[in-house]
């Protein structure tokens, strides 16, 4: 059961790999074999798993679902690293790190100078983020019914919305609609970036890594390399749109634009970004930057970090501690639930703040009935404990991860920064963290830990952590 499902996902990963294969054949850059071998291998594996391990049962237990999700992600990551290895670009550990940074849309990279890498490999890198963005599992959701089981549980495990919002009664329809929105945004991005002056290859790559809020670039200077206000604005808009809950696009498409715009999480998300933009721009202006440039840099960096994308147009690490603090905070809060962004998600942040306020309030009114409401809906008490547990685990994971990184001889700052950048799926943080050379020089075990943290961040902790409990493996 698990095998057949994971097989299908890996097969799908192989299918995606046909795109750079074709590109490589057309361009004739000699990497065709590097794509052909893993692509057909994955397709063959998927086909075998589908045919031989198929089970005619519609029941999927919760633990199967968690296992499928995590194994699929790791499996695709493994297949995805093969082209880097076979082409001789990276060693196995670096390749796996790069691949997982792609599929989790973290965007942390060990490749310092993308300009020297073959375009087909760059395309694969961007494509892995694009595929990871919508979620391999979302693809899986559309394919799963073919395998023969209901996918409701899977959807709830993958989407991990704190407040699950079912768009249509059938999960497959939902997945189709979300995929449509995602592709639409990507196409729009390609057109906009081309119009703004990017060449088609760069436009495609950046559109894919923008919509997935991944942050891989084809240039070592990231977006700054283009030095074009128009491109920055389009990329910023793309990241902003991708950081919103995709369910809202569905609502808007259904003619309920007003309701979508009235979404509390969206409003808070936009307000946080506006506040971050104002603060960073004000600090830059104070520091002698001209006004339009201060606003431009402040806005781009705020959007890029709070959505967990990690594109850069300016050296924000030299912006002074206030701006850095604000940006790191926004990175931790992250984007909206149901988006491709990272962080703990705005909805959780809002609910945590409300919960904390209620605790203070209850000192004055011990008998008060303090319901947690969000957008007019009452959050069940069961979910309240889930939020609190999530937040505790998030902090605990940060602490443990930081300690593990210090074991590798890193100073405390970069140790925390590297873990934080992976857990919040931004791929960048203070100091040297985020530079390709920083990640490249880490020992292999440290890369494994960071890869695990990317997965933890992408799958929002619980899904991965449950596999680490003895209870999970008990018969």
Partner 1 sequence: MRVVIVGAGEVGTNAARMLSGEGHRVVVIDQNEGLVERTSQHLDALVMQGNGASPRVLREAEVEKSDLLVAVTNTDEVNIVACLAAKSQGVPRTVARIHNPDYHDPKKPFSKDILGMDFVIRTEQMVADEISSVLLVPGAVNVETFADGTIEVVEVVLKEDSPAVGQAVRDVNLPERSLIVGVVRHGETLIPKGDTVLEARDHVFMICERRRVSEVVGAVVTDASPVRDAMILGGGRIGLLLALSLEKMGISVKVIERDAGRARQVAAELRRSLVLNDEGVSREFLLQERVDRMDAFIAVTPDDRTNLLAAMNARHLGAGLTIAGISRAEFSPLSEALGVDITISPRLLAAGAILRFVRRGEIAAVTLLESGAQMIDLYVPEKCQVVGRPLAAVDFPRGAIVGAVLREGEFVVPTGKDVLEAGDEVVVFSVGSAVDEVERLFAP
**Which of residues 254 and 259 has its CB atom nearest to partner 1 in the complex?**
259
Q: Could you tell me the two tokens for 451?
A: 């890869």
Could you tell me if 142 and 175 are in contact, meaning their C-beta atoms sit under 8 angstroms apart? yes
| 290 or 377: CB nearest partner 1 | 377
Q: How far is the CB of 259 from partner 1 (least distance, A)?
A: 18
The answer to the question of residue 362 lying near partner 1 (CB under 8 A) is: no
Least gap, CB of 378 to partner 1 (angstroms):
5
Minimum separation from the CB atom of position 42 to partner 1 (A): 50
- Is 373 a binding residue for partner 1 by CB under 8 A? The answer is yes
How buried is residue 163: exposed, middle or buried, by Cβ count under 10 Å (0-12/13-18/19+)? Answer: middle
Of 170 and 373, the one with the shorter C-beta distance to partner 1 is 373
Number of residues binding to partner 1, judged by CB under 8 A:
9
Give residues 315-334 in contact with partner 1 (rule: CB under 8 A): none
Alpha carbon distance 425, 100 (integer Å): 11
Q: By C-beta, is 325 or 380 nearer to partner 1?
A: 380
Q: Interface with partner 1 includes 256 (CB under 8 A)?
A: no
* Shortest Å distance, C-beta 377 to partner 1: 9
Smallest distance, partner 1 to C-beta of residue 380, A: 10
Q: Which stretch binds partner 1 (CB under 8 A): 122-130, 220-228, 324-332, 362-370?
A: 362-370
Phi, psi of 374 (to 5 degrees): -140, 115
Q: 329: exposed, middle or buried (C-beta count within 10 Å: 0-12, 13-18, 19+)? A: middle
Q: Binding partner 1 by CB under 8 A: which of 369, 468, 469, 474? A: 369
C-beta separation of 456 from 397 below 8 A: yes
Site for partner 1 in 63-82 (CB under 8 A): none
Instruction: Give the C-alpha separation, 341 to 327, whole Å.
Output: 15
Q: Find the binder of partner 1 among 371, 396, 400, 407 (CB under 8 A).
A: 371
**Among residues 195, 257, 353, 368, the one that binds partner 1 under rule CB under 8 A:** 368
Q: Tell the smallest beta-carbon distance from residue 376 to partner 1 (Å).
A: 9
Report if residue 356 touches partner 1, rule: CB under 8 A. no
Contact pattern from residue 197 through residue 226 relative to partner 1, giving x for each residue in contact according to CB under 8 A and a dash for the rest? ------------------------------
Closest CA to 209 of 190, 194, 233, 229: 190
DSSP label at 115? G
Residue with tokens 């003895």: 470
CA distance 327 to 333: 10
Three-class SS of 277-315: HHHHHHHHHHCCCCHHHHHHHHHHHHHHHHCCCCCCCCC
Task: Select from 365, 389, 399, 441 the one that contacts partner 1 (CB under 8 A).
Answer: 365
Main-chain dihedrals φ then ψ at residue 439, nearest 5 degrees: -70, -40
Closest to partner 1 by CB, 290 or 365: 365
Least Å distance, CB 374 to partner 1, is 12
Contact 236, 193 (CB under 8 A): no
Assess 363 for contact with partner 1 (CB under 8 A). no
Residue 262 interacts with partner 1 (CB under 8 A): yes or no: no
Q: How far is the CB of 359 from partner 1 (least distance, A)?
A: 15
Minimum distance, C-beta of residue 81 to partner 1, in the bound complex (Å) = 50
SS3 402: helix
| 430-437, Cβ contacts within 8 angstroms, sequence gap of 24 or more | 430/317, 430/324, 430/328, 431/317, 434/108, 434/310, 435/112, 436/109, 436/110, 436/111, 436/112, 436/220, 437/112
359 touching partner 1, by CB under 8 A: no
> How many angstroms separate the CA atoms of 176 and 182, rounded?
10
Q: Does 367 bind partner 1 (CB under 8 A)?
A: yes
Identify the CA nearest to 147 among candidates 67, 70, 71, 50. Answer: 50
Give me the least distance between CB of 228 and partner 1, in Å please: 47
Residue 254 is a binding residue for partner 1 (CB under 8 A) = no
Scanning 120-128, 154-162, 370-378, 431-439 for contacts with partner 1 by CB under 8 A, the matching segment is 370-378
Q: Could you give phi then psi for residue 372, rounded to 5 degrees?
A: -90, 115
Residue 280's closest CA among 304, 263, 297?
297
Choices 204-212, 366-374, 431-439, 462-470; region in contact with partner 1 by CB under 8 A: 366-374
360: contact with partner 1 by CB under 8 A:
no
Which residues 378-397 are close enough to bind partner 1 by CB under 8 A?
A: 378
What phi and psi, each to the nearest 5 degrees, are found at residue 268? -65, -40
The whole-angstrom distance between residue 132's C-alpha and the CA centroid of its chain comes to: 7
Q: Least distance in Å: CB of 294 to partner 1?
A: 40
The dihedral built from the CA positions of residue 325, 328, 329 and 335, taken in this order, carries a sign that is positive
User: Which C-beta is closer to partner 1: that of 88 or that of 366?
Assistant: 366
Return residues touching partner 1 (CB under 8 A).
365-371, 373, 378
């Amino acid at each position: 059961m698990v095998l057949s499902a994971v097989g299908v996902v890996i097969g799908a990963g192989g299918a995606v790999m046909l795109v750079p294969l074709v590109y490589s054949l057309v361009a004739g850059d000699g990497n065709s074999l590097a794509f052909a071998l893993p692509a057909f291998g994955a397709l063959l594996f998927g086909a075998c798993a589908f045919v031989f391990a198929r089970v005619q049962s519609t029941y999927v237990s919760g633990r199967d679902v968690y296992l499928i999700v995590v194994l699929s992600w790791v499996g695709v990551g493994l297949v995805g690293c093969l082209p880097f290895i076979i082409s001789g670009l990276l060693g196995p550990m670096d390749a796996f790190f790069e691949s997982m940074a792609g599929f989790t849309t973290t965007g942390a990279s060990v490749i310092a100078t993308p300009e020297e890498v073959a375009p087909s490999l760059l395309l694969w890198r961007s494509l892995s983020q694009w595929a990871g963005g919508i979620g391999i599992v979302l693809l899986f959701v559309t394919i799963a019914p073919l395998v023969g089981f209901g996918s409701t549980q899977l959807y709830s495990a993958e989407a991990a919305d704190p407040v699950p919002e079912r768009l249509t009664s059938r999960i497959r329809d939902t997945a189709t609609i979300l995929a449509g929105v995602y592709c639409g945004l990507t196409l729009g991005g390609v057109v906009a970036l081309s119009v703004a002056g990017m060449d088609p290859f760069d436009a495609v790559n950046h559109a894919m890594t923008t919509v997935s809020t991944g942050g891989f670039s084809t240039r070592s200077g990231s977006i700054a390399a283009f030095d074009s206000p128009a491109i920055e604005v389009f990329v910023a808009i793309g990241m902003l749109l991708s950081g919103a809950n995709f369910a809202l696009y569905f609502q808007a498409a259904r003619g309920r634009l007003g309701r979508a715009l009235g979404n509390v999480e969206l409003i808070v998300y936009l307000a946080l970004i506006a506040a971050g933009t104002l603060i960073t721009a004000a600090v830059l202006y104070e520091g002698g930057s001209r006004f339009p440039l201060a606003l431009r840099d402040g806005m781009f960096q705020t959007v890029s970090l709070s959505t967990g994308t990690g594109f850069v147009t300016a050296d924000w690490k030299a912006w002074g501690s206030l701006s850095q603090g604000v940006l790191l905070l926004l990175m931790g809060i992250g984007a909206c639930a149901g988006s491709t962004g990272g962080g703990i998600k705005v909805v959780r942040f809002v609910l945590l703040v409300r919960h904390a306020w209620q605790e203070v309030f209850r000192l004055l009114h011990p008998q008060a009935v303090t319901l947690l409401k969000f957008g007019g809906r009452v959050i069940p008490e069961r979910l309240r404990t889930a939020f609190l547990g999530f937040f505790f685990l998030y902090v605990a994971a940060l602490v443990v991860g930081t300690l593990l990184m210090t074991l590798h001889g890193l100073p405390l700052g970069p140790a925390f920064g590297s873990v934080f950048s992976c857990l919040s799926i931004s791929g960048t943080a203070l100091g040297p963290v985020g530079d390709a050379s920083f990640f490249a020089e880490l020992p292999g075990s440290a890369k494994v830990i960071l890869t695990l943290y990317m997965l933890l961040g992408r799958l929002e902790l619980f899904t991965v952590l449950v596999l680490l409990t003895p209870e999970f493996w008990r018969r």
